[in-house]
């Protein structure tokens, strides 16, 4: 308990030092100054947004050791479905792992295609030849969906894992992703993203783990939270 209190105090002190917990205005003069600063920030932001006129399909990478890479991608998929877009999902690794996100998306069969490539690559297998065959099968399906003009968003879930183990030709993968249709969005997930993929991407997010109940409290993965 003492450690938890100390951690909260540390975060509080860090926030104060970084200006996140700035002093609230008290006098009329302080309120006026705060309003002027807020107005200037809004004007600067509006000017910046006015200059952002380009629309294009994005190559997005979710990587890092922290939790939430696939979850974030499925969140984007839900947003896309809500906007009437068609989504294709290829799962490279989590073949037998049923998730709440997947169940939700399966309620929209006309908008969402989910392909789990057999058992897929797993952490337990020691059969490298089978893993490579599964990865190649998944990549073939990925190329088919990427080439299909009816799709607006494609999620290549855990593709980074098979690229890390060199089960696919990185050069070919990059060529397909870089030369995708102009307005197609592609999200690649998985830890240890290749530097070449990071360099080619438009948006890269690295999930960083600060604390995790599985490691620190022996809390198992819980339905509705982790899957």
Domains of the chain: 59-217 (3.40.50.300)
Supply the pLDDT for residue 79. Answer: 97
Going by C-alpha positions, the residue among 206, 204, 208 that lies closest to residue 59 is: 204
Question: CA-CA distance, 150 to 111, in Å (whole number)?
Answer: 10
pTM (predicted TM-score): 0.77
The dihedral of CA 49, 185, 92, 134: what is its sign?
Answer: negative
Q: Is 12 left (phi over 0), alpha (psi -120 to 50) or beta?
A: alpha
188 close to 160: Cβ distance less than 8 angstroms: yes
Supply the pLDDT for residue 219. Answer: 76
Q: In angstroms, what CA-CA distances link 109 with 34, 100, 177?
A: 50, 16, 25
Question: CA-CA distance, 129 to 135, in Å (whole number)?
Answer: 10
Question: CA-CA distance, 191 to 6, in Å (whole number)?
Answer: 31
Supply the pLDDT for residue 97. Answer: 54
Helix (H) or strand (E) holding 200, with range, is helix 195-200
Torsion angles phi and psi, residue 169, rounded to 5: -75, 110
Supply the pLDDT for residue 123. Answer: 53
Supply the pLDDT for residue 192. Answer: 96
Supply the pLDDT for residue 2. Answer: 44
Q: What is the separation of C-alpha 154 from the centre of its chain, rounded to a whole number of angstroms?
A: 12
Question: CA-CA distance, 186 to 203, in Å (whole number)?
Answer: 10
Please list the rounded mean pLDDT of every run of 10 residues in the chain (227 residues): 45 46 74 83 81 89 94 95 97 71 90 80 69 92 98 97 95 98 98 98 94 77 73
Supply the pLDDT for residue 164. Answer: 95
Supply the pLDDT for residue 13. Answer: 47
């Amino acid at each position: 308990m003492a450690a938890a209190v100390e951690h909260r105090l540390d975060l509080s002190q860090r926030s104060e030092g970084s200006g996140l917990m700035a002093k609230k205005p008290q006098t009329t003069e302080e309120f006026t100054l705060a309003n002027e600063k807020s107005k200037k920030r809004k004007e600067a932001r509006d000017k910046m947004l006015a200059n952002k006129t380009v629309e294009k399909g994005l190559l997005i990478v979710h990587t890092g050791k922290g939790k939430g890479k696939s979850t974030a991608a499925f969140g984007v998929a839900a947003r896309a479905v809500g906007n009437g877009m068609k989504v294709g999902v290829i799962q490279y690794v989590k073949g037998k792992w049923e998730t709440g996100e997947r169940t939700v998306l399966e309620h929209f069969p006309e908008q969402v295609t989910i392909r789990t490539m057999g058992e897929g690559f797993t952490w337990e297998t020691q059969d490298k030849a089978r893993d490579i065959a599964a990865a190649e099968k998944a990549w073939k399906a990925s190329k088919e969906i990427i080439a299909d003009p009816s799709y607006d968003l494609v999620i290549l879930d855990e593709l980074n894992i098979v690229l890390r183990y060199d089960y696919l030709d990185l050069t070919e993968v990059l060529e397909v992703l870089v030369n995708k249709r102009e307005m197609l969005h592609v999200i690649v997930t998985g830890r240890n993203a290749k530097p070449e993929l990071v360099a080619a991407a438009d948006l890269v997010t690295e999930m960083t783990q600060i604390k995790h109940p599985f490691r620190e409290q022996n809390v198992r993965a819980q339905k509705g939270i982790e899957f």
